[in-house]
Amino acid sequence: MSWRDIADVAGLVALLLGALLCLAAALGLLRFPDLLTRMHAATKPQVLGVLLVVLGIGLRGRSSLDIGMLALVVVFQLLTIPAGAHLVSRAGLRTGQVAPADIHVGPRSRPNPSR
């Protein structure tokens, strides 16, 4: 088995896993009830799914021009998806789609009484 065969099999596996994650994201958009859970379903598995698809294409393509273009796709995905999700969540909060009680920021730090 040569390096090309191993890369082809790894590329096919990455393509399959990426497609399954994108499918899971689409099903989450259809099934989840509110804005925040839909936004989570649209961003988390979708980004990983697209990255796996790009990895699979890169392992199968092997051209330096193709790899460069795929790297640009990865960079733009990693820059735009979190920013878009942040803007959607802010718009949902401002328009009343998200109740302020639904947002959990974690435990608040209390001032140290010994200081």
Return the pLDDT at 17: 96
Q: What would the two tokens of residue 71 be?
A: 């790297």
Give the tens place of pLDDT for each residue, 11-62: 999 999 999 999 999 999 999 988 888 888 888 888 899 999 999 999 988 8
Residue, of 3 and 112, whose pLDDT is higher = 3
Task: Count other C-beta atoms under 10 Å from residue 15's C-beta.
Answer: 18
Task: Count other C-beta atoms under 10 Å from residue 64's C-beta.
Answer: 8
pTM above 0.75, yes or no: yes
